[in-house]
Amino acid sequence: MKRPSREDGGMNLAPKIKKSQETQEHRVLPTFLKCFTFTSGFCCTVFIGSSIWNYENVKKSFQNQELSEWIKSRWNKLDGFEHKEGDFRKFMNKYWNELADGGKIFWGICAANVFVFLCWRYPPLQSTMMNYFCSSPVARAVCWPMFLSTFSHYAPLHLIMNMYVLNSFSSITSSTLGSEQFLAFYLAGGVVSSFMSNTFKLLTRTVGPSLGASGAIMAMLGYFCTKYPDAKLGIVFIPNMPFSADTALKAVMLLDLIWYHI
């Protein structure tokens, strides 16, 4: 669950907002219901969409398997044919084609996060980024930022660490869930995290914006640790300290609980 950024001190993970912005008591219930409705509808939509996507992919693979193999064999046997693409393009095509489905999903997510990060560095877009790529229950727009903020990072270290962690277990998780369900789980996890963050802010009258893929990644990590409790994990930059996934999940839950009560 994404922790609301603090107004003073702490890591500069999110842009600061004016302190005059306060949660109005009469807006608490309507805002909560709006966030809850959006979260429920979004999660249902992405999982239904992923099921349809999976069905279409399976159907297409059976229909095109024999035809594609026949075309490929004839294409490669053409006499005198010379590939005209450059070495870099050949390398990228080969790399992409050899990637597992989970790797392709990861690079798509990573590209979206990098693009949004670069948008933060473009001054004319600052107002748009604050309105739609930071999640806050007191913002002008409440619903869509719950989704868009999961692709938004203000600090480069925040972006790098999140993408590193996601890449470390995306392939094995995708192979278990399937690429379609993997993406749906990731997106739904991010929105549910934003919903819980907004709920916490409404209850505590907190106005700090939240952003980042941490909530979605924690959802995926929770699934991974539950599915593979005996898998060995480690901490970045601290070698030779392996621990089980089950232990990691319990530790993260404990730290999250302590963090919210500091």
Token pair for 112: 């979206």
Are the beta carbons of 26 and 218 closer than 8 angstroms? Answer: no
Per the DSSP assignment, residues forming a β-bridge with 233 are 243
Q: How many CB atoms lie within 10 A of CB 47?
A: 16
E strands, 51-92, are none
Residue type, 174: S
Tens-place pLDDT, residues 139-194: 888 999 999 999 999 989 889 988 988 888 888 888 888 889 999 999 999 999 99
pTM score, whole prediction: 0.78
* SS3 sequence of 130-182: HHHCCECCCCCCCHHHHHHHHHCCCCHHHHHHHHHHHHHHHHHHHHHHCHHHH
Token pair for 34: 């709006």
Query: Nearest-CA neighbor of 171 among 216, 215, 220, 214?
Result: 220
DSSP 3-state of 201: helix
- Domain locations in the chain as residue ranges: 26-51+88-228
pLDDT tens series, the chain, 262 aa: 454 444 443 445 666 655 444 445 557 888 999 999 999 999 999 999 999 998 888 777 776 665 555 555 555 555 444 454 566 666 666 666 667 777 889 999 999 999 999 999 999 999 999 999 999 998 888 999 999 999 999 989 889 988 988 888 888 888 888 889 999 999 999 999 999 999 988 888 877 888 989 889 889 888 888 888 877 776 666 666 676 777 777 776 676 656 544 4
Q: How many CB atoms lie within 10 A of CB 38?
A: 18
CATH number of 26-51+88-228: 1.20.1540
Distance CA 243, CA 236 (A): 13
Q: What is the DSSP letter of 241?
A: E
| Helices and strands counted in the chain (H then E) | 9, 2
Contacts made by residues 122-126, CB under 8 angstroms, sequence distance 24+: 126/15
Per-residue confidence (pLDDT) for residue 244, from 0 to 100: 74
Tens-place pLDDT, residues 105-115: 999 999 999 99
Distance CA 73, CA 219 (A): 43
End-to-end CA distance of the chain: 16
Q: How many CB atoms lie within 10 A of CB 254?
A: 10
